[in-house]
Amino acid sequence: MATSITPAFRIGTKELYLPMANITFLRGRDPHHAKFQVPLWFSKLDLRDYLWHAYNVETYSARSYVKLSPVRPKEGHHPRRWHRKRSRKFMTVELARPFVWPAEPEDLSEWSADTVQGASKEQRSFQELQGSTKDTIVNEERRERMREQARALLEGKAKWKPPVRSFGTEMYSRQR
């Protein structure tokens, strides 16, 4: 995107039209400042160049900070181990022109639970028509053979033997 207006700052060579990162614009109170959640490797210059090249938004200054997550005991099998979730980086830029968020919609009927439930029912019926809801991976013959083998083992009619591999047996015998 070629722009005829030049910004008051020096333009970088890293033109981020479609960044390989998620940049989240967060709602703020001050129309002269915009707050973003960016990846940890993102710099102030990256954000400034991205805003200029993608949206033609001029910024005066940028501040960044990394919010560390608290250290907590790890949940699950190892309660004595400590774990810190991934830190998050936030940047606030001062805008040349103020940005005012649009008003929140008052009529929320478009996002009602009835609509969501109707869509999920429609999706289920479509999946049933396509045949993706039933388990097509199960081999009934193999299941029946395994059931018979298990019954014979439990009754003592057969003795268990480890499976024999047809390939790679010489490799396993050399390692022992």
Can you give the CATH number for the domain in which 42 is found?
Answer: 3.30.70.330
The token pair that represents 143 in the structure block: 């299941």
pLDDT at 176: 46
Is residue 163 one of the residues assigned to a domain?
A: no
Is residue 140 one of the residues assigned to a domain?
A: no
Is residue 28 one of the residues assigned to a domain?
A: yes
Mean pLDDT score, 78-82:
76
Whole-prediction pTM value? 0.53
Is residue 61 one of the residues assigned to a domain?
A: yes
Write the DSSP symbol of residue 96. S
Mean pLDDT score, 76-98:
87
Is residue 113 one of the residues assigned to a domain?
A: no
Q: How many CB atoms lie within 10 A of CB 46?
A: 20
Say which range, 34-48, 94-108, 158-172, has the weakest mean pLDDT. 158-172
Nearest to 60 by CA among 98, 22, 89, 26: 98
Is residue 43 one of the residues assigned to a domain?
A: yes
Residue 133 has pLDDT above 80, yes or no: no
Separation between Cα atoms, residue 136 and residue 113, nearest integer Å: 32
Separation between Cα atoms, residue 64 and residue 43, nearest integer Å: 8
Of the CA atoms within 13 Å of residue 128, those in its CB half-sphere come to 6
Domain with 69 in it: 24-73+82-95
- Over residues 60-69, the pLDDT tens digits come to 999 999 999 8
The token pair that represents 100 in the structure block: 């005012």
Contact residues for 86 (Cβ-Cβ < 8 A; gap 6+): 69
Is residue 134 one of the residues assigned to a domain?
A: no
Strands 24-26 and 33-38: antiparallel
Domain total of the chain:
1
Is residue 39 one of the residues assigned to a domain?
A: yes
The token pair that represents 1 in the structure block: 């995107």
